[in-house]
Every structure is written in structure tokens, then in C-alpha cells.
């Protein structure tokens, strides 16, 4: 769990001004017939996640002494790589500390938000630690200050959200990205030509409650101070 010793400008995962897509030349490897593969010409290990999916490159602002990125926040947007970092490690979206509690992981979803696919409940928003539940409820615009809490005992990785890339039939084999983004589960055959921007987890074995009820439960279980 994490302790807020200093006021924070914005959650760790929030995009800051002047953070943008970073330089990197994308190309398509067509050497294996029928098995194209998207890559960066100067690719390094951090460009791919633990499932070998390629990710969009994004610049990052310097961090203050508390590890918080500096710069004016853009509350409606998440930084792709910080989102991946917190979702992969199941760390708090506000302070980056481990988010697991004795009761499970705390995921917040907006009152009008329902993201499901094939009868699965999915989320691209990282969990939060007990100390930052109420702060997160007001810091993320999509929660509208009144989120529902998904107290989940299991949150396995599901897939990635991003864009599929193709090559045209011209001699130059120019790259062309689809106009719309999509969600692909890990193991999907299109992932080798996919550029990811968000990691998605499935919420399983969960209880849906209010923030008020959650805080009462956390106090009763001595997870936070009464």
C-alpha cells in the first residue's frame, strides 16, 4: 500500500503536456510468407510487452523528487507506457505502489461505463490502492466523482487496445493503419501487425460495491485507519 505524504498534481498514469508520440521508424517484415511482422528499425526490448506485442513510443516528462511526472496534466488521457507499467504490475494508478489488498484489487469504473466483450468484464484502467480510492474518484474525469468499485480477487491479462497495421500492394509496401482502434486478446493472429496503446485486463471473481461501502469494509478489515 502507498501513503500520500505530499499532494500530487495528478495520478501517475495521466498524460502530461508535451508528452507525445516519440520518434521511431516503423517497418513491416515480410520475409516469412503469410506472416508479416511490424517492428521499429531501431527497436529495443522496451518497445514490446511480455507477450511480444509492439507498443507505440511516447515521450515522458521528467519526474519530481516523489517520482511524479512533471508538467500540466491532461486528465482525459492516459500515458500509454505508464498505463502498461501499472496494468502489468497491478500497481496503483495514482502513486505506482503495489495495489493488491487482502480483499483483492480495487478497480474503479464510471457510473455509465460498461465495457464487456464475449460476456467478459474488461478494463483498461489500472487499479488503485486503498489510500487513493477517493482521490482517484475525482481525479479521473470518466469516473464523474461517483464510480462503482469492482473489488476483484482475480484480474488476468486479457489483451491490448490499439491499431492494426497493413502494407499496401505498391512496390514501396507503404504502411497503412486502420482508421479505428480495436481490442485484440492475447494470442490473436493479427497481433504481429498490431501497435498497442493500452493493456486490458479481465475482471473475474469480483464484487460490485460503492466507494462508501468499500471504505467501510477497508476500515473494518483494518486495511486503512478507522
3-state secondary structure 45-90: HHHECCCCCEECCECCCCECCCCCECCCEEEEEECHHHHHHHHHHC
pLDDT at 171: 67
Q: Are 149 and 128 in contact (CB under 8 A)?
A: no
Backbone phi, psi, residue 80, to 5° = -55, -45
> pLDDT value at position 189?
97
The pLDDT assigned to 111 comes to 77
pLDDT tier at 113, thresholds 50, 70, 90: confident
For the cut 60, the answer to whether the pLDDT of residue 91 exceeds it is yes
Distances (CA, A) of 179 to 64, 106, 169, 176, 183: 37, 33, 18, 9, 14
The DSSP bridge partners found for residue 185 are 159
Q: What is the pLDDT of residue 9?
A: 55
Of residues 2 and 71, which shows the higher confidence score? 71
Band (168; pLDDT cuts 50, 70, 90):
confident
Give the pLDDT score at 115: 62
More confident residue, 66 or 173: 66
Give the chain's length.
Answer: 226
Radius of gyration, alpha carbons of the chain: 19
Give mean pLDDT, residues 24-44.
Answer: 93
- CA torsion sign, 205 to 210 to 216 to 218? positive
Amino acid at each position: 500500500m502507498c501513503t500520500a505524504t505530499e499532494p500530487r498534481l495528478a495520478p501517475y498514469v495521466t498524460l502530461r503536456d508535451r508528452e507525445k508520440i516519440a520518434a521511431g521508424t516503423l517497418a513491416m517484415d515480410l520475409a516469412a510468407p503469410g506472416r508479416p511482422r511490424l517492428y521499429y528499425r531501431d527497436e529495443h526490448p522496451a518497445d514490446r510487452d511480455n507477450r511480444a506485442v509492439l507498443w507505440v513510443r511516447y515521450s515522458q516528462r521528467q519526474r519530481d523528487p516523489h517520482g511524479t511526472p512533471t508538467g500540466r496534466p491532461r486528465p482525459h488521457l492516459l500515458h500509454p507506457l505508464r498505463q502498461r507499467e501499472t496494468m502489468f504490475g497491478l500497481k496503483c494508478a495514482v502513486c505506482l505502489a503495489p495495489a493488491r489488498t487482502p480483499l483483492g484489487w480495487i478497480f474503479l469504473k464510471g457510473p455509465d461505463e460498461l465495457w464487456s466483450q464475449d460476456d467478459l468484464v474488461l478494463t483498461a484502467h489500472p487499479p488503485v490502492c486503498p489510500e487513493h480510492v477517493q482521490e482517484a474518484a475525482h481525479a479521473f474525469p470518466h469516473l464523474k466523482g461517483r464510480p462503482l468499485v469492482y473489488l476483484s480477487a482475480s484480474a488476468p491479462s486479457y489483451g491490448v487496445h490499439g491499431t492494426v497495421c497493413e502494407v499496401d500492394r505498391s512496390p514501396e509496401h507503404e504502411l497503412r493503419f486502420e482508421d479505428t482502434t480495436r481490442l485484440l486478446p492475447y494470442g490473436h493472429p493479427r497481433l504481429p501487425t498490431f501497435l498497442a496503446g493500452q493493456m486490458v485486463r479481465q475482471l473475474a471473481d469480483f464484487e460490485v460495491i460503492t466507494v462508501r461501502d468499500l471504505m467501510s469494509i477497508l476500515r473494518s478489515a483494518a486495511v486503512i485507519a478507522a
